[in-house]
Chains A and B, each alone.
Chain A
């Protein structure tokens, strides 16, 4: 667009030839061709530079080129007129200029230059014509699509993006950069007009970022035979009645125990093979209610391993009991006992007089703090919290009930209290192989702030939360909270209608639930195998003799 305006000003002001002192041969005085003078003189100089090293007589090729140049100029004028007539828009005049030098640049010598420019002119003419026609077609198609479509937003963006590639193949690249831009602008304007006004931006398809997560959907209607325990669990997940990595994992495993006990192997099938297929739709139902947490994923993977390894010869009830026993063992060892070890280890790091800053609510951190208080350590706690979930209130209630002196504040205020804190203890949803911690949105801010003020950051995390993938940022994998007032409203002193919980026609709400804290911001990770630096997470499975977590 900018190029077009520049060339416009050039033509209007009729600047003299800009080329380097080769303007004499060009004596055309028609105002519309002054621009041509510029270009032609530039080409002339370029051609001259090329001609000199080529050691052919500089005088001989010039008349030929001049002649063809005059012809070319005529052609270009014709084309421009046609274009202007077709489009009625400021024509992107620089296109031929870009094309010509490239065409001439590719030529080897003066004679081939002529041929190249001549043929380029001819093909250009054709392309111009067809390009104009094609553009017309595209505009019409886009308008038709916009009218047919009722969805706003990214579909328009998608359209403009797809419009760009459509433009790219037929024409050379420097030219085309302007078309999609103008095309996109035009398309957007058209779409804005076409969109019905009644549509709100409340659904996440209006989001520009995080749109790859899709919308948080309402709990799905049950299809097929989903066990009622799973149905109930799905509802609890979807309405955020059960939150937290540990809680969700334990609830899932308990529900699966019920499913397994109620399961009957169909005839001509074995439990170890069929139970898996029986469980799959149950798992999908849970995933549809709310995306699976890393803990659930690890637990289910372990469960599937146990199922496939179960003895074929066992009678069915025994096999089912064995599986339930294994599930109980898993919960007990990897979660309950692990938490106890973490309580002791992290508790030993807490000294009298410490001021501990924690964020939101982690079940492990709650246990650590309660245990340290029971052991008689005198410390105080700062609970930082944030909307929409306001989980810190639950933690605050539990801690103050046993008498721990607590301070409660919202996340934006931690800058004022970070200098008072002697230690930061947070929980985790998962920890990745590169040591990055995936936790409640806001944890990364707390960790970075702490690091800035040299406050040590301790993450309490069981080993079963280890995700073997590497994650580098919070965008690639995250979860959006659904719009609406499903969490406790804050503050109660104001009316709930004052709270912004849903979007509007020009407002889309974005509530990512998790974020990623890089390993460099974390001082130590407390696991049940000890206190380790985050970079050593990946050596734990090896050390424990396991192939997976």
Chain B
């Protein structure tokens, strides 16, 4: 879910030799680290390299660094969650130590320790979700999520499960889920995004990962999650979201179009109606070379057409049954109360 777009590594940070964006990208190269954690680690590095002398300067430097990172990514939601959490932590950290550099060292140590501990969150969540997965369950999941993979593999150790996964166009990450599950021996079938309602009555519950869980208790995840949630609600199937606690974010979208990822380009109509010469797009480089035959006489969207589509969407809290997190299993209302408790003070 993190984007791996290559960004030109120009030095554009406040501190002379410290390029926060390069650090961030380097950290993100590690597959196991998600965007909020990478942001926290990058900011920790910033503190390490910073020459700030007071808390005020330090917080200002952190905010500037976060701003730089935000400008470089098209989907800043996870990044914002991590940055806000870390900056709030720094601000509220009791600074009664005599020397400021001691404080900085302490902050760096805490930041790294938190990141280390946060690597274990996925395991915790997988164990928590285990109790909700019955033997013989049929699970529907969406696209590719590391925490969902961990939960499914964990469940597979003790119980029999079978999984439907959506294709999750346009990036097709559902196929990656399919590969990994099949390799582990879990029966898995890829389902068209448009066939979710067809399959919903066969499913016991829906399990998705998350990019962020927002203040309203709603979910921000790869585009298609909202549709699945609505269909699940209509079919009375539970919809569970797995989210580590650093993904809880104080954003409050009032609608799909209130997301920071919504640009005027998305869902826009073309300015001049020119006959599109391209016609059926070729099976582009997006799809990997599979050994299995790709059906002929199918059409796919062009890259320009895909660019008019969103990458993430917002699922309302009343459609979500429970959010499994390392702090426990929360109802959507509970997420907001947790966030208010964390940040409002």
Contacts and interface: CB of A to CB of B under 8 A. Distances in A.
Contact of A536 (B254, B258, B336): B336
Contacts of B345: 543-545
B254 A529 contact: no
Interface of B: 215-217, 250, 252, 254-255, 258, 317, 333, 336-337, 340-341, 343-345
A539 B340 CA distance: 7
Contacts of B250: 530
Interface in A394-424: 423
A148 interface: no
Nearest to B254: A456
B344 A529 contact: yes
B60 to A, nearest CB: 19
A533 B341 contact: no
Contact of A533 (B255, B258, B333, B344): B333
Contact of A539 (B216, B252, B254, B337): B337
Interface residues of A, number: 20
Interface string A257-283: 000000000000000000000000000
B252 A536 contact: no
A540 B344 contact: yes
B254 A458 contact: yes
Q: Could you say which of A524, A536, A545 has the most chain B C-beta atoms within 10 Å of its C-beta?
A: A536
Given A535-B333, A536-B333, A530 B343 contact: yes
A65 B209 CA distance: 81
A510 to B, nearest CB: 35
A533 B254 CA distance: 10
Given A536-B340, A539-B341, A540-B340, A531 B252 contact: yes
12 contacts: A524-B254, A529-B344, A530-B250, A530-B344, A531-B215, A533-B252, A536-B336, A536-B337, A539-B341, A543-B340, A543-B344, A545-B345
Contacts of A456: 254-255, 258
Contacts of A305: none
The 5 closest A-B pairs by CB, nearest first: A456-B254, A531-B252, A539-B337, A536-B336, A529-B344
Contacts of A539: 336-337, 340-341
B340 A349 contact: no
A532 interface: yes
B176 to A, nearest CB: 34
Given A530-B215, A533-B333, A423 B341 contact: no
Nearest to A463: B344
A331 to B, nearest CB: 22
Contacts of B255: 454, 456
Nearest to A535: B333
A523 interface: yes
A213 B217 CA distance: 39
Contacts of A529: 340, 344
A423 B258 CA distance: 11
